[in-house]
Amino acid sequence: MKLRLNRIEHYVLERTLIGVGGAFAVFATVITLIDFVELSRSVGVRAEIGFDQVLVMTLLNAPTLVLLLLPFSFLFGVLGAFVSLNRRSELIAMRAAGVSAWRFIFPAAGAAVAIGVVTVTVLNPVASMLNARFESMRAELMQGYGPTTPRALWLRQGDIHNQIVIRAHQRVSGKGELTLRGVTLFISTRSAAGTLQFSRRIEAAQAQLMPGYWLLTGAQEATPGAAAYHFDTLTIPSSLNGDSALERFASPTAVPFWGLWRAIARTEQAGFSATGYRLELEELLATPLMFAAMSVLAAAFSLRLIRLGGLAALAGSGVALGFVIFFFNELCRALGKAGAIPAFAAAWTPPLIALLAGFTLLCYTEDG
């Protein structure tokens, strides 16, 4: 199979990448400005921070927001590039010379797939790391300005012998460590038949996660039908570490691509549902296909000959269909999070439908 691009395909691919880059620059600029204003309003007026700190927070948070709109960069970029080629009659000359639209659309779709792979494997982990720093910085600046009523935190750990459900009133901020206050541990023991039976309850003023165990301070232990015992300090074995435990407080979008498999395994091992992490993983794996689908869809809606008229309406229809696919993707995501449909179907259905819609229109345009 010949993979080398000729001059026409190389030229169209170059114009396409320029269009996508321009659309991406516009989206990134607008999103950054909006996020800067929002952070100035929500954080700046409360924490009394300067312009430089708001700018740093904006730059840390912007990559995550920009990556969410990358499919639209391909939609608008490819659409703008092909409409420009059409208006300058370059597409007419190419097709009059016998060059099929498939020849210069597939390289653009291939480039979209390559950019999608780089986005998932490189840009997503970097954006997740920057977003984690942003969340930490915002939490530190907003300390004391949040809600007065703390929200309970829940953890769960277990092995073949025991299952422990941990409830805490407050989490003490710290990098790489976990300290909880107002802690209650519900410990169940697994019987020979495999069923869990509640065995004891421990309440502690503070619990600090150490390597291999919880260090409880001011603990009081009670078992069914027996008196309570008080301990100044008490240790409970733990299969968690700082990173895996803190993952329970992070949304699936905050976990980098390379850490999702670990998050899924640890979440299921602890007895929680990993639907959110599985859905995020499937959506990231489907990202290259979504980029390619948006490219094919945009190109298909911009190939109508300029002399036939109606190009603007057709291009507008392509943009409208792109937004429909976006909302359909959000609907599938909501259904996937609720467990109504499998995570695989929720993540892969929208890009497949977009790709098939683009191919259908291309077949109709090129082959009648």
Task: Read off the pLDDT of residues 59-90 as tens digits, 9 standing for 90 and up.
Answer: 888 888 888 888 889 988 888 888 888 777 77
Which DSSP string corresponds to 68-126?
HTHHHHHHHHHHHHHHHHHHTTHHHHHHHTT--HHHHHHHHHHHHHHHHHHIIIIIHHH
State the pairing for strand pair 213-222/179-190.
Answer: unpaired
The most confident of the ranges 250-254, 301-305, 328-332 is 328-332
Choice among 36-40, 96-100, 182-186 with the minimum mean pLDDT: 96-100
Task: Read off the pLDDT of residues 91-112 as tens digits, 9 standing for 90 and up.
Answer: 777 777 777 777 778 888 888 9
State the average pLDDT for the chain.
81
Burial of 60 (0-12, 13-18, 19+ CB in 10 A): buried
User: Which of the pair, 315 or 72, is modelled with greater confidence?
Assistant: 72
Buried b (16+ CB within 10 A) or exposed e, 201-237: ebbbebbbbeeeebbbbebebeeeeeeeeeeeebebe
The most confident of the ranges 15-29, 146-160, 218-232, 246-260 is 15-29
The CA distance from 183 to 120, in Å, is 38
Q: Which residue has the tokens 């950019």?
A: 115
pLDDT value at position 345? 92
Q: Does the structure show a pLDDT above 90 at 117?
A: yes
Q: Specify the amino acid at residue 360.
A: T
Confidence of residue 350 (pLDDT cuts 50, 70, 90): very high
pLDDT value at position 148? 42
Q: Does the structure show a pLDDT above 60 at 339?
A: yes
Q: Does the structure show a pLDDT above 80 at 351?
A: yes
pLDDT value at position 147? 47
% pLDDT > 70, the chain: 83
Label residue 203 left, alpha or beta by phi (over 0 means left) and psi (-120 to 50 means alpha).
beta
Task: Read off the pLDDT of residues 208-256 as tens digits, 9 standing for 90 and up.
Answer: 888 888 899 999 998 887 778 888 898 988 877 655 565 555 667 778 8
Choice among 20-34, 60-74, 165-179, 341-355 with the minimum mean pLDDT: 165-179
User: Which of the pair, 153 or 355, is modelled with greater confidence?
Assistant: 355
Phi, psi of 225 (to 5 degrees): 80, 15
Q: Does the structure show a pLDDT above 50 at 164?
A: yes
Phi, psi of 257 (to 5 degrees): -55, -45
Q: Does the structure show a pLDDT above 80 at 177?
A: no
> In the chain, what are the domain boundaries?
7-142+276-367, 160-238
